[in-house]
Amino acid sequence: MNKGVDIQIPNESSEAHMRTSPKIVIIGAGSATFGLSVLGALIGEQSLKGSQLCLVDISRDGLARIAKLAKRLNDEWKAGMTIRSSTERREVLPEADFVILSVAVDREACWHQDMEIAKQHGIMHWAETGGPGAFVHTARNLAVIMDIIRDMAELCPKAWLLNFTNPVQRICLAATRHSTIRTVGICHQLTYGHMMVGVILAKELGIEVRPDYVFRFDGSGEYMRIALEALKKVDILAAGINHFTWMLSVRDRRTGEDLYPLLMERSRVHPCTKFEPLNREVAAIFGVFPVSGDCHLCEFLPYTHNMHRRSWERYMIPLPPLDMFTRRRPKQWERVDRLIAGQESVEPLRNAYSERAECVIAAIVQNAHSYEPALNIPNRGYVSNLPEGTVVEVPAVVSADGIHGVAVGALPETVAYLCRRQILIAELAVDAAVKGDRQLALQALALDPMIDDLDVSCQLLDDYLTAFKSYLPQFR
């Protein structure tokens, strides 16, 4: 067997070898994005000093570069970690306490093809978390991930799986329905809700926002600036399913004032008609403000996909900038190389925005009983009118006893119905992807609200299974 890259960095502190220090395995660590965000947060977390950190990726080059960056962070920040990297996950999984999963199967190329195949059948959609393209996205990723989950069940059955991989809800569903691995999904989408509140209530919150501000994938950082300013001033209680959650409460952190009525009022009269028009129209109709914004909300609703009505253009939904993702990757690697060479300070990585995996791990290790505003976990009555056991996104308290959701009661029935429909579709898609069951896959597509013709369901399934045959061994 090819042992691949194996870099070990000795640690002078004996505390790193104690079982009280967690062993953390990151699968998919060999990417520049990971190196510039999650890596710094993990190594910089004070309560995780002395931990074992194992980096895994199938890319030898990417893994070797991220391992070198990890060494510099470990040395300069005196984190006392034992760091190892390998292209063979089974080498490092034994006795792991936490496994962070962040993988993507040829993301940009496949995602583009998912959307193009749907367009051939008159369907315009994002194709990441919802809609017909989400089925094949789920199936491709699970073809890889289920083997990882089986390895965990064999080699580290008591470990926590912290999943970043999209579709987050569906990957977590697969783990919880088809294994006994303890699983939590982590996503930053609640920040989008804070951004929208920050824009709509900019005057009341004292946040500087251009009157014509519209979110676009331009890499400017304006979205995150507004979101982080709003996060300091506003508390949002939200629940639902990943990328399809709903604001149940919006309060001023400083005074406790209920800002929800003002948010709904200001949303209706917001001067920029191009700012999240779908989100604001859905809020006005159903009386509940969505969290995810237009770019993800459109994946779950049948209002924007019809190419004949040109509704996508009417709502001005921004397409995912796949070319931009591809173009900026070399620049990210150039920065990683500068950091490795000592040509740039690593201090900004301490404060880089992360998905909070380090906070969840630290809370479990330290028994901190900390509050996380949005985690994806099995529903144990946390949302009373969504199915028991399905994966929901809710606030949670994290401690050594596990991750326990905060009971938020019932969603308004209109949006609960929308969530229940998507939950059923997701569960069918997951079971189809795990078992390679064509009939279940067809049922998932036939129930999708973007598809109004059974022939289209059949044709889409044929087209997806044919186009991605090499990625889907379970359907052969």
0.85 surpassed by pTM:
yes
Please check whether residue 171 is in contact with residue 146, taking contact to mean a CB–CB distance below 8 angstroms. no
Q: What is the CA radius of gyration of the chain?
A: 22
Q: What are phi and psi of 326, to 5 degrees?
A: -70, -40
Please check whether residue 342 is in contact with residue 72, taking contact to mean a CB–CB distance below 8 angstroms. yes
The 3-state DSSP class for residue 110 equals helix
| Identity at 436, one-letter amino acid code | G
Tokens 């060999």 label which residue? 30
d(CA 91, CA 151): 11
What domains appear along the chain, each with residue ranges and CATH number?
6-187 (3.90.1820.10), 190-314 (no CATH)
Please check whether residue 225 is in contact with residue 150, taking contact to mean a CB–CB distance below 8 angstroms. no
| Identity at 96, one-letter amino acid code | A
Q: Give whole-number Cα distances, 2 to 9, 86, 89, 150, in Å.
A: 21, 10, 12, 20
Per-residue pLDDT at 354: 83
Residue 394: how many other CB atoms lie within 10 Å: 27
pLDDT in tens, 174-191: 999 999 999 999 999 999
Per-residue pLDDT at 325: 79
d(CA 229, CA 434): 42
d(CA 260, CA 237): 11
d(CA 75, CA 342): 12
d(CA 177, CA 169): 12
Per-residue pLDDT at 6: 35
- Report the chain's terminal Cα–Cα distance, integer Å: 26
Per-residue pLDDT at 320: 78
pLDDT in tens, 239-281: 999 999 999 999 999 999 999 999 999 999 999 999 999 999 9
**Segments of the chain with pLDDT less than 70:** 1-20
State how far Cα 277 lies from the chain centre.
24
Helix (H) or strand (E) run with residue 53 in it: strand 52-56
